Structure 1
Amino acid sequence: MPLISTKGVYGLAAMYELSKHKDDTPMQIKDISSNASIPQNYLEQLLSKLRRANLVTSIRGARGGYLLAKSPDEIKVVDILVALEDDIKIVDSKAENPILNLFFEESKNSMKNIFDIELSKLDEYQSKYNDFLHYNI
């Protein structure tokens, strides 16, 4: 049982691509799809949910596409995941034991705290990745 589904992973990847797009022009869905390796028809569904959550804006037309609705410093990873997953879940159902339910609820809150970072902070993982490649080649 994954904590974050493909929906959350792909949506976060799409948002990261949009955060790296420094142009003030919208990013076309085909480019997001290609850069993030997300099937385009699935990406359209995810971007629709993210638009309803006011995390992205869409521009219609030949030069249209998607933009972040806010700065990457103002968008939290947890907000993206909750918009796509409806919530971060540890378990799918309540346990019969109230002690376990309290434990699961506390665990869920801890997970939300882990993901309570700005989208812009994902750039820090680029240098970690570069270091990894440097030392493992």
Structure 2
Amino acid sequence: MKLSTKGRYGVRAMFDLALHEGDGPIPLRSIAERQNISEHYLEQLISTLRNEGFVESVRGAHGGYMLAKNPEEITIGHIIRALEGPISLADCVAGEESNCDRSSNCVVELVWNQVKEGIDEVLDSITLEDIRQEAINAKQEGEQHGYMYHI
């Protein structure tokens, strides 16, 4: 399984919003520049995340985007599933129709299901607040040791 740019860039954009929470609405251009993501592509991702209830938009001269929920309420799993769909290694554990003629008595399906559950568990255990705190701590450590930390 490999995440597409949708999932990876979506997590980066949401992380950026979490990092700047409390600064008011963040213009899309600012997120795109900081995260090195095409503004046009980011627009598409943010639209999906807004439709899923994770982001809200503010119109006007000082408009932009903000998290619709607290960072501790949004997991990486929420973001990935909103942008990528169900997480799985095989169709038989994704809840999709399988063309496999062994699906009714497949022992290997148990393995794929356990892997899926493990991935879900990890992604659902990490919140935007967790990675926001990691970034803040790393930045503070970097300042103490005289090197620059980039987010």
What TM-score, normalized by structure 2, do the two folds share?
Answer: 0.77
Determine which of 117, 120, 123 is the counterpart of 2:129: 120
Give the aligned partner of residue 102 of structure 1.
Answer: 110
Among the aligned pairs, what percent are the same residue? 37
**Which residue is 2:95 aligned to?**
none
Cα distance between partner residues in 2 of 1:92 and 1:61: 44
Q: Which has the greater radius of gyration?
A: 2
Q: Structure 1: which 5+ residue stretches go unaligned?
A: none
Deviation of 1:101 (Å): 2.0
Which residue of structure 1 lines up, in the alignment, with residue 148 of structure 2? none
In structure 2, the CA distance between the partners of 1:100 and 1:57, relative to structure 1 (3 Å rule), is same
State the distance in 1 between where 2:117 and 2:107 align: 16
Change (3 A) 1:35 1:107: same
> What letter is aligned with 2:117?
N
1:54 corresponds to 2:63: no
Query: Structure 2 CA distance, aligned partners of 1:51 and 1:68?
Result: 9
Pairwise mapping of residues 1-137 of structure 1 onto structure 2 (< 5 A)?
1-2=1-2, 4-91=3-90, 94=98, 96-97=101-102, 98-116=106-124, 117-126=126-135, 127=137
Distance 2:138 2:121 in 1: 21
Aligned counterparts of 2:61 and 2:138: Cα–Cα separation in 1: 38
Q: What one-letter code is carried by the residue in structure 2 that aligns with 1:123?
A: R
Aligned-pair RMSD on alpha carbons? Answer: 2.5
2:81 aligned partner, one-letter code: V
TM-score (norm 1): 0.85
1:65 and 1:33 map into 2 onto residues whose CA distance is: 12
Q: Relative to structure 1, is the Cα distance of residues 92 and 38 closer, same or farther in structure 2, using a 3 angstrom cutoff?
A: farther
How far off is 1:102 after superposition? 2.4
Distance in 2 (CA, whole Å) between partners of 1:89 and 1:7 is 16
How many pairs are equivalent? 134
